[in-house]
Structure 1
Amino acid sequence: MTVTAAQARPLLVAAGLAAGPAVALGLARFAYALVLPAMRTDLSLSFATAGALNTANAAGYLLGALVAAPLATRLGLRTGYLVGLVVTAAAVLASAGTGSVPVLAVLRLVAGAAGAVALVVGGGLAARAGRDASAGQATRLLAVYFCGGGAGILLSGLTVPPVLAVLGWRGAWVVLGVLAFAALAVAVPAARAVPAEDETAHRSAGGRLPLRPLLPLLVCYGLFGAGYIAYMTFIVAYLRAEGAGSGTVTAFWALLGAAATVAGFLWAPLLARLRAGRGVALVLAVLVLGAGLPLLPGGLPVAIVSAVPFGGAFLTVVTAVTAAARQHLAPRHWTAAIAALTTAFAAGQCVGPVLSGVLSDGPGGVRAGLALGAALLAVAIGVAVLFRDSSPRRS
C-alpha cells in the first residue's frame, strides 16, 4: 500500500510520540518484572510484597488517569505529555537509590501517575495528529503510538538482564532511567509537530463525555487491566522457577517485546474493518491463549512460546479499545475518553497484582496467580461483545 506524504507525516509524529508508551509502559512498568527476582532475593520480598509494589504503581496510574484530562486542559497537551515523561524518568532513575520498600512504593506510585499522564495525553496528541484520517488510517496511527510499549519492552529485555548480572538491580534501574530520559530526544520534536490549532482547540473543548454507551468498554478494559498484569508481573519469576537462566529470560522478554512492537501493524487492517467490540473481543481471545499456555503441561518451552500470542495481543487490546472509543465519539471527547478508559484499566491493575501475588504465595504457587489472570481475561471477552458502536462522529 502506497503511503502519501500527507499520510506519512502523522505516522512519523505518532512514531515519535510512541516514546510515551515506551517509557510509561515498557520501562517504568513492565521492566519491573525483569528486576523483581533480583530485588526479591536482595530485599527478601514475598510475592505479596512484590505484587503490592506493582499495585502502588497501578494506584499511581489510576491517579494519573484521573488528572490527565484536566491537567492537559490546564497546561496544554504538549506540556502535559512532556512533563509526564520527565517525572516518570526521574522516578525510575531514583528507584536505584533506595532499598526501602516504603520509598520504593512511593517511587512506583509517582512513576505510575506521571506515566499515565504521558500515556493518556500522548494518545490524545496521536489521535489529533490524524484528526481527519479514515478509520483505517486512524487505527494505524494508534497502533504506531501504542507499539512504543512493545519497543520499550524489547529495549529493556536486551539491556536489563546483562546489567543485572554485573551491577545488580540498582544498576538496572539506573539504565532504565537513563533510557527513559533519552526517549525525550524523539518525544519533544514529535509533540511540537502536532498542529498548533489542534493543541489549542483542546483547551476550549466542551461537552460532557457520554459514559453510558462506553460502559461495556470500560468494564472490559478494567477486567483486562486486572487480568493481563498477573502475567506481566510474575511470568519472569515463573520462568526462573522453571529453571530459566539469564540468557533465556533475555530471549523471552525480547521475543515478547518484538511481538508487541510488530503486532499493532498486523492487526490494524483487521481492526479497521471490525466494528464495535468485536475487534476487542478477538484480540482478547488471542491474549487468553497466551496467558493460558504457561498453565499447560510442557514447562519452560511452552511458557516461552506464550510470549508470541501474549506479546502479539496485549498492547493491541489498548489500540483496539482506543480505536473503538475514537470511532464512537466526537474529536472533542477523545482525550477525555482515553482518560476514562485508562482509569478503568488502572483500577483493574490495582486489584490484579495483589490478588495474583497472594495466590502465588499460596500452595498453588505462581501458576495460581497466572490462572487468575487468564480467567479474568476470558470474562473480558464476553463483556467486549456487549459494546455497540454508533456511526463515527466528526464534530
Structure 2
Amino acid sequence: MGTKSAWNWITLWASLMFVVILGFSRLSYGMFLPGIQREIGGSYGQLGILGTVNFVGYLIGTLCLSPILSRFPDRKPIINRITCLLLGLTMIGSASSQHFIQLGLWRFAIGLLSAIATVLVLSIAMDAVRPAERGAASGLIWLGGSAGILVTGLFAPFTIDPSRLEGWRYAWAGMGAFGVIAAVGFEYAARRREPAAEPSGAEADSKDHERMNVYRLLLHPKKLLFLIGSYFFFGWGYIIYFTYLIPYLVSKGIPSLDAGLVWSGIGAAGLFNGWIGGKAIDRWPSGYTLAAGLTLGTIGVFGVTTGSMIGTAAGAITIGLVSFITPPLMTTALLRRHVPHHANAACLSLATACFASGQIIGPIVGGAAVGRYGLQFGVASSAIFMAIAALLAGIYGHGQRREHRQRFQQSQTSQTRQ
C-alpha cells in the first residue's frame, strides 16, 4: 500500500488520540484545578506540584521508551496498543481520587503513559505519510490537542461552578472512555495498512548513519542543540500559562462560562494553528518559522498583564493561533527531516524528554511565583521562557541558513573546478 497523503484514516485516528494524549490527559488538569481544589483541598502551589508529578511520569516514560524500542524493535505497534488502552483506563481511574496522594499517583501514571503514546502514535502515523506531506500530517495530528482543549472549555459550567462539586470527576471519566474508543480506532486503522517500503533517496540510511550516536546528533551545537533547547524552554513556559490561567480568571470573579470560553478559544484557534503551522513548516522548514510563532505567543502571554477580560482573551487566542500546537509539530517535522529514518523514534523520544523536563520545572517555578507575587504575575512569568525558546529557535534557524550557504558555496566551487 505504501505511503499516503497527509489526510488519511491513520492520521485522523492519530489526531483523535491526541485529543486524549494532550487535551484530555495533560492540559485538562489546569481547567479542572478550581473544582479539584474545592473538593480535595490544598493551595494552588500544592496542586501545581501534581502537575510536576505528571511530567515526572512523562519524563520517565520518554526515557524508558528508547531502550524498550532498542530491545524490541518489532514490537512498536503492540507497545502502542497497550499504552493507549491503559491511558484511557487510568484517566477513568483518576476520576475516583479521594485525596491528594491518590490523585498524584494517577497523574504520574497518566504522564508516563501519555509520553509513550505521544512518541509511538506520531511515529506510526508519520511512517504512513509521504515525506513531502509530513508537516501537514503532523499539524493534523497535533491539532487534536487543540480540539481537546476546546471540548474541556465547554465543560467549564460543570467543572468550575461551585454548585457542581464532582463535575470534574464525571468529565475525566468521560474523557477516559473516549480514550479507549480512540485507541481501538487507531489500532484498527494502523492494522489495515501494509508495511511501507523502506525509505530511499535522501531518507536512505547508510551503514555509517546506523552507527550514529543519537545524543551527539541532538546535543551538538551545529546540529540540533538549539532546536532541542527551544523545545525545552517552550515546555517550561507554556505549562505555566496553561496551569494557572483558569485559576487566575476564577480568582478575578470571572463567571465559569466565560472562563471556559477563554479556554475553548485557545483550542478553537489551535485548530487553525495545526493546519497553518503544518503547511508553513513544509514550505519553510526553518528554525525562523518556529521562532516567529513563539515570538507572537510571548506577546500573547502579556495579555494577562492588562487586567482586563478582553486583553486576556485576545492574548489567549493569539497563543492558541500561533504558538500552542506550532512548536511541537514543527519540532517533530524538523526532526523528521534532519534525523536518519532508523533513529527517528529514539530522537523524538529524547527530544520529548527535554520537553518534559521543561514541563517539570515549569509548575514548580510558576507555583513559587504565584505564592510570592500572585496568580497574575505567575501566569505572566511564562513569557520569559517563551521568549528564550523563540531566541533559541532563531539561533537554530541562523545555523541552518549558514550551513545551507556553505553547501551552496561548496557546490559552486565544485562546478567551477569541473
Does TM, scored on the shorter chain, surpass 0.5? yes
Counterpart in the other structure of 2:67: 70
Match of 2:388 among 373, 379, 383: 379
Match of 1:227 in 2: 237
Kept in 1, the 8 Å contact 2:17–2:179? The answer is: no
Aligned twin of 1:352: 362
Is the aligned partner of 1:128 residue 2:124? no
- Could you tell me how far apart the structure 1 residues matched to 2:281 and 2:303 are? 25
Q: Residues 316-358 of structure 1, C-alpha deviation per residue, up to 9 Å, x if partnerless?
A: 1111111111111222122112111100000000000011012
**How far off is 1:198 after superposition?**
6.6
- Alignment pair present for 1:174 and 2:173: yes
Alignment of 1:280-319 (within 5 A): 280-295=290-305, 297-312=306-321, 313-319=323-329
Range 317-326 or range 189-198, more displaced: 189-198
**In the comparison of the two structures, how many residue pairs are matched?**
380
* One-letter code aligned to 2:145: G
In 2, are the aligned partners of 1:226 and 1:351 still within 8 Å (CA)? yes
CA distance in 2, matches of 1:35, 1:101: 14
Residue type at the aligned position of 1:60: G
Of 377-386 and 272-281, deviating more is 272-281
* Structure 2 residue identity aligned to 1:311: G
CA contact (8 A) 1:239 1:303 kept: no
SS in 2 for 1:20: helix
Q: Which residue in the other structure is 2:142 paired with?
A: 146
* 1:101-125 per-position Cα deviation (integer Å, ceiling 9, x unaligned): 1121111011001001000111111
State the AA in 2 paired with 1:133.
P
Aligned residues of 1:46 and 1:361 also touching (Cα < 8 A): no
Task: Tell whether the 8 Å contact from 1:284 to 1:317 is kept in structure 2 after alignment.
Answer: yes
- Structure-2 residue corresponding to 1:250: 260
Change in 2 beyond 3 A, CA 1:371/1:78: same
Rounded Cα–Cα distance in structure 1 between residues aligned with 2:245 and 2:54: 18
Alignment partner of 2:276 out of 266, 269, 286: 266
Indicate the residue corresponding to 2:338 in structure 1. 328
Q: Give the TM-score taking structure 2 as reference length.
A: 0.84
> TM-score normalized by structure 1?
0.89
The answer on 1:368 being equivalent to 2:377 is yes
Q: State the match for 2:42 in structure 1.
A: 45
Deviations 1:106-147 (A, max 9, x none): 1101100100100011111122112x431xx11101111111
* 1:158 positional shift: 2.3
SS in structure 2 of the partner of residue 97 of structure 1: coil
**1:375 is paired with a residue of what secondary structure?**
helix
What code does the residue aligned with 2:94 have? Answer: S
Residues 223-261 of structure 1, C-alpha deviations (whole Å, 9 max, x = no match):
111100011101111111122212112212221111112
The question of whether the paired residues in 2 share the 8 Å contact of 1:280 and 1:317 is answered with yes
- Between the aligned partners of 1:9 and 1:271, the Cα distance in structure 2 is 14
Unpaired runs of 5+ residues, structure 2, are 199-203, 405-418
Q: Which structure's CA Rg is the greater one?
A: 2
Amino acid at match of 2:149: I
Deviates further, 116-125 or 181-190: 181-190
> Following TM superposition, by how much is the alpha carbon of 1:9 offset from its aligned partner in structure 2, in angstroms?
6.9
Residue identity in the other structure for 2:42: L
Q: Aligned letter for 1:111?
A: I
Structure 1 Cα separation of the partners of residues 337 and 3 of structure 2: 21
Q: Does 1:54 align with 2:51?
A: yes
The alpha-carbon deviation at position 206 of structure 1 amounts to 4.3
Separation in structure 1 between the aligned mates of residue 185 and residue 160 of structure 2, nearest angstrom: 27
Shift of 1:185: 4.1
- 2:414 aligned partner: none
Q: CA deviation at 1:375?
A: 0.5
Deviations 1:27-69 (A, max 9, x none): 0110111211011122221121111000001111111111223
Alignment-derived partner of residue 24 in structure 2: 27
Structure 1 contact 81–119 (Cα < 8 Å) conserved? no
> What letter matches 1:358 in structure 2?
A
Which residue identity does 2:111 align to in structure 1?
A: G
Label 1:198 to 1:367 Cα distance change in 2 as closer, same or farther (>3 A). farther
For 2:241, the aligned partner's letter is: Y
- 8 Å CA contact 2:297–2:319 kept in 1: the answer is yes
**Shift of residue 171 of structure 1?**
2.3
